[in-house]
Homo-oligomer: A and B are copies of this chain.
Amino acid sequence: MKNYLIALAAASTAGGALAQSSLTLFGVVDAAVTYTKGSGNGSAHKTQLTNSGNMFSRLGFRGTEDLGGGYSANFWLEMGLQNDSGTGFPSNSNNQASGNGTAGVLSFNRRSTVSLAGPFGELRLGRDYVPAFWNTAIFDPFGTGGGIGANQIYFSGLGGLVAPTGTRASNSIGYLLPASLGGFYGQVMYAMGENDSNSVLPGTRVSNEHDGDHTGARFGYQSGGLNIALATGRTRYASGDLRVTNLGASYTFDASLMNLKLTSELYKESKGSTDAKGALIGLQLPIGPGEIKASYARYRLEPVGATLKPTSSKLAIGYVHNLSKRTALYATIARISNSNGASQALSGAITAPNRASSGTEFGMRHMF
């Protein structure tokens, strides 16, 4: 994302040497007209103006101060926007359901960090993405946008993506490897639920002191057209830990194969003793100023002792037409199929168990 620099150099703050210091205002405003429908008894359809079909809408402030010797101080404050209605997204204060904010309020829910970077890597404090989120975002051709293209079927199961720590964690300490490791990259995170040492589950004597404590790591390798990464995360809850592990890989062919990019992800999550598994394959194909995208994903819930394992699969096909590097028009069609009692539907629709849900969206995304 290319952004405006509010001041190219903070020359006034500490002499002319800080040539790399900058303060940047940036954002995305993305809106689409979306129609989704279900099928079967009690199904419902809806037409909406939605946000974030191509990229999540946001407004942010970030800055870098060059401290010399390869060191820098950095901050990043980024809020999510529901620009169809001018509202935002609440953050979560303690990585537990009790810390959820009020729906629709503005907050720097997407990222709120201060960090010290240098030859050693980066030490980052605040609210940030959990390591295990990145594979689900990066190896899905549709990212994890709010639109119908992104692989939302992971969202409705055990909560690996929608739990308080599914995407981001508050109260985190993160360490990221430096960029100069010959293609190897990686990060670890520890985040705190911040319950005090006396804390117990309501009405019990069961300690939940460590509820909301999150540990995560991600390591990968990128070279030439290849990118591959393994990530895992665990959030402690007295009611049963939430664990997510995934492996993502992509390969971008050269011009002789039209710069085609293939992506894939294997995904596993568990909440207490219940497991779920997912997988995704995708492609991205540049066509002139545009790009064709497609993905196919499956998600299967595996309740303990259940004879049926509810399974959903999703196919999404999209085209993005770039009007400039910052602005694009896009169209997406998607379909979710269900079996073994599953009833996942595209956002806005309701579908009966074992029945399908489908939808279409047309939108515009603008970055600044």
Contacts and interface: CB of A to CB of B under 8 A. Distances in A.
30 contacts: A4-B6, A13-B325, A13-B326, A23-B368, A27-B61, A29-B77, A33-B173, A49-B126, A49-B192, A65-B368, A67-B324, A81-B108, A81-B112, A83-B112, A84-B112, A84-B126, A85-B93, A85-B99, A85-B112, A85-B127, A85-B170, A86-B91, A86-B111, A87-B101, A87-B107, A102-B105, A106-B107, A114-B365, A116-B323, A196-B348
B112 A192 contact: no
Interface string A82-119: 11111110111110000101101111111111111000
Interface in A165-212: 170-173, 191-192, 194-199
Interface in A9-65: 10, 12-14, 23, 25, 27, 29-33, 42, 44-49, 59, 61, 63, 65
Contact of A2 (B6, B13, B105, B323): B13
Contacts of A6: 4, 6-7, 25
B366 A65 contact: yes
Most chain B CB inside 10 Å of its own CB: which residue of A14, A45, A84:
A84
B49 A173 contact: yes
Q: Which 3 A-B pairs have the closest CB atoms?
A: A86-B112, A86-B108, A85-B170
A246 to B, nearest CB: 24
A327 interface: yes
Contacts of A94: 85
Nearest to A37: B197
A45 B112 contact: no
A364 interface: yes
A83 B107 CA distance: 10
A287 interface: no
A29 B191 CA distance: 18
A253 to B, nearest CB: 27
A125 interface: yes
B114 A364 contact: yes
Contacts of A10: 4
A23 B112 CA distance: 23
A258 interface: no
A222 to B, nearest CB: 25
A73 to B, nearest CB: 4
Contacts of A368: 23, 63, 65, 75
